[in-house]
Amino acid sequence: MRSLFAVLLSFALAACGSAVDDGVVDIAMIGPSADLFDESLRLSTGGQHVRAAHAQGLVRLDAAGQVVPALAERWIVTDDGRSYIFRIREFDLPGGGRLSARSVRDSLASTIRQLEGTSLGLDLAKVRDVRAMTGRVVEIRLDAPMPDLLQLLAQPELGLVMDGAAIGPMALAREGDVAVLDALPPELRGLPAQPDWDEDIRQIRLYGTEAQAATQGFAEGRYDMVLGGRLATLPYADPGPLSRGTIRLDAAIGLFGLDVRNTEGLLAEPTNREALAMAIDRGSLLEAFNIGGWVPTTRVVAPGLPGDTGSVPERWASRTIEQRREQAAARIAQWQATTGTTPKVTIWLPEGPGSDVLFTALSEDLATIGVTADRAPQMRGADLALRDRAARYGSARWFLNQFNCSVSPICSEEADFLVGLGLDASSQAEEYSYLDEAEAALTATNLYIPLGAPIRWSLVRADTVGFGENPSSLHPLFPLSRAPI
């Protein structure tokens, strides 16, 4: 009991901001330290945070998840929505030379080409051309209006590289397994020089670590912040009532559900796969976590997004959970009688105490229709596997592109065809109609069992400046430095 009290007290002290201010913001990022230095275009959470800090694009995201100027100081969108024209900042590059529209165009066009064959590349499918208009003007031309283009351009993977070097807003250095980030002077970011700009500046030090070690380090005052928390690790972030206000939950949107990875045996028929989906009581699924405001859903696409016409409703809304389970149990019983096989499934969930709690809830729900669930030790070979991914932008297109047959084995060719038709739609209303049809087609396969919104959490000391919750769950590091913008 004494040791438990000591841990709770240390969390309370951390929450109150009692740690000594040494001019450094120490952040524990849940995940391998190698992720922080990933140079690929398929970045983990840690890699995205570091890339966004030292390789900005035309625009970037602020702490609230809003798009703000970066290399582009301003922009306009033509009336037809098919052209975005950016005026870039003018400044000297760290390696010499001058930032130009041509170098920006070359870097951006190269990155877009490299992203082909990825879900992010599919998101950028409407981009027809990137042009350098004058020395400081870059134009992006589209095949059709794309309201989410700025949100996409702010993604870390779209950060620009000039002459092989990233260009801020922070400089990255590596000290062993620690990523060290320092804000660049205003004049190296295309801003007027400011006397004493670094008077109150903070260095950012990022440590890749396991969730339990991260939360313990936060409790002991070694870290000012913990980022990268998910449902699997949420119990580590709950030390008790003394830490109230320390845990920060993002109102994330995205995919949180089960992929059907084995379409043989019990899961060969869409109706049996639907039976499993019908058995899950989403309203009570996460009760043990006591998460306020979590949004359960039976839809592939998060409800309430821009363009949600209401034509794709929640499934089985007119039936009670008891009625759904009765129908599902009848299907399972019929399959068992026909095959003489005991209904069983294996479920893969990532390691962590939160996954243990989630598995218990899922297995109890499936047991109500006569299906036994076992925990799969790895994703390969599992019947069902958790898909847990935060959305990059709030559009049905992002959700559907995650299931495109070119990037995912869980897919529908009919849905892909309809999404493709939406690219050439003559109006926004027509595009939304195609996307609704695509969602319905993908839903009918019952290859994905939606549960609700993904869970993303952080631990933040009370006196930390520059942090904010946001739907994308990307928390920019630059504002934490307190550098002038």
Taking only the tens place, the pLDDT of each residue in 380-409 is: 999 999 999 999 999 999 999 999 999 999
Report pLDDT digits (tens) over 288-298: 998 888 999 99
User: Do both 279 and 217 map to the same domain?
Assistant: no
> For residues 299 and 277, what is the distance between their CA atoms, to the nearest angstrom?
11
Question: Is the pLDDT score of 414 beyond 80?
Answer: yes
> For residues 166 and 54, what is the distance between their CA atoms, to the nearest angstrom?
6
Q: 7 in a domain, yes or no?
A: yes
The average pLDDT across 141-162 equals 93
- What is the tally of structural domains in the chain? 2
- Cα R_g (the chain), whole angstroms: 24
DSSP 185: P
SS3 string, 436-471, reads HHHHHHHHHHCCEEEEECCCEEEEECCCCCCCCCCC
Give the pLDDT score at 395: 94
In DSSP terms, 247 is beta-bridged to 459
H runs (alpha helix) in 2-90: 2-15, 45-54
User: Do both 280 and 426 map to the same domain?
Assistant: yes
Q: What is the mean pLDDT of the chain?
A: 91
User: Do both 384 and 482 map to the same domain?
Assistant: no
Give the pLDDT score at 20: 61
DSSP 212: H
DSSP 313-355: PPTTTTS-HHHHHHHHHHHHHHHHHHH----EEEEE--SSHHH
Q: Please answer whether residues 468 and 66 qualify as being in contact, where contact means their C-beta atoms are separated by less than 8 angstroms.
A: no
Highest mean pLDDT among 31-45, 192-206, 302-316, 319-333: 319-333
Q: 69 in a domain, yes or no?
A: no
Question: Is the pLDDT score of 128 beyond 80?
Answer: yes
187 or 101, greater pLDDT: 101
Confidence of residue 19 (pLDDT cuts 50, 70, 90): low
Angle between helices 2-15 and 211-219 (to 10 degrees): 80
Q: Please answer whether residues 228 and 455 qualify as being in contact, where contact means their C-beta atoms are separated by less than 8 angstroms.
A: no
Question: Is the pLDDT score of 94 beyond 60?
Answer: yes
> In the chain, pLDDT over 70 holds for what percent of residues?
94
User: Do both 445 and 467 map to the same domain?
Assistant: no
User: Do both 301 and 374 map to the same domain?
Assistant: yes
Q: Tell me if the pTM is above 0.75.
A: yes
Question: Is the pLDDT score of 13 beyond 80?
Answer: no
Least confident of 61-75, 88-102, 255-269: 88-102
Confidence of residue 245 (pLDDT cuts 50, 70, 90): low
User: Do both 344 and 372 map to the same domain?
Assistant: yes
The pair phi, psi for residue 67, each rounded to 5°, is: -75, 130
User: Do both 433 and 477 map to the same domain?
Assistant: no
Question: Is the pLDDT score of 373 beyond 50?
Answer: yes
413: domain CATH number? 3.10.105.10
Q: Please answer whether residues 459 and 248 qualify as being in contact, where contact means their C-beta atoms are separated by less than 8 angstroms.
A: yes
Q: 306 in a domain, yes or no?
A: yes
Q: Please answer whether residues 50 and 37 qualify as being in contact, where contact means their C-beta atoms are separated by less than 8 angstroms.
A: yes
Question: Is the pLDDT score of 5 beyond 80?
Answer: no
The average pLDDT across 338-352 equals 97
In DSSP terms, 334 is beta-bridged to none
The average pLDDT across 302-310 equals 91
User: Do both 370 and 334 map to the same domain?
Assistant: yes
User: Do both 215 and 298 map to the same domain?
Assistant: no
> One-letter amino acid identity for 140?
I
User: Do both 300 and 192 map to the same domain?
Assistant: no
Confidence of residue 243 (pLDDT cuts 50, 70, 90): low
Confidence of residue 168 (pLDDT cuts 50, 70, 90): confident
Give the pLDDT score at 439: 98
The average pLDDT across 242-258 equals 84
Q: 75 in a domain, yes or no?
A: no
User: Do both 318 and 439 map to the same domain?
Assistant: yes
Q: Please answer whether residues 101 and 375 qualify as being in contact, where contact means their C-beta atoms are separated by less than 8 angstroms.
A: no
Q: Please answer whether residues 230 and 456 qualify as being in contact, where contact means their C-beta atoms are separated by less than 8 angstroms.
A: yes
Q: 62 in a domain, yes or no?
A: no
User: Do both 351 and 391 map to the same domain?
Assistant: yes
> For residues 256 and 167, what is the distance between their CA atoms, to the nearest angstrom?
35
Q: 351 in a domain, yes or no?
A: yes
Domain residues for the domain of 390 are 254-452
Q: 106 in a domain, yes or no?
A: no
Question: Is the pLDDT score of 3 beyond 50?
Answer: no
**CA-wise closest residue to 282 among 311, 314, 247, 252:** 314
Q: 401 in a domain, yes or no?
A: yes
Q: What are the contacts of 363-367 at 24+ separation with CB within 8 A?
A: 365/279, 365/280, 365/281, 365/285, 366/276, 366/279, 366/280
Confidence of residue 1 (pLDDT cuts 50, 70, 90): very low
The average pLDDT across 315-335 equals 97
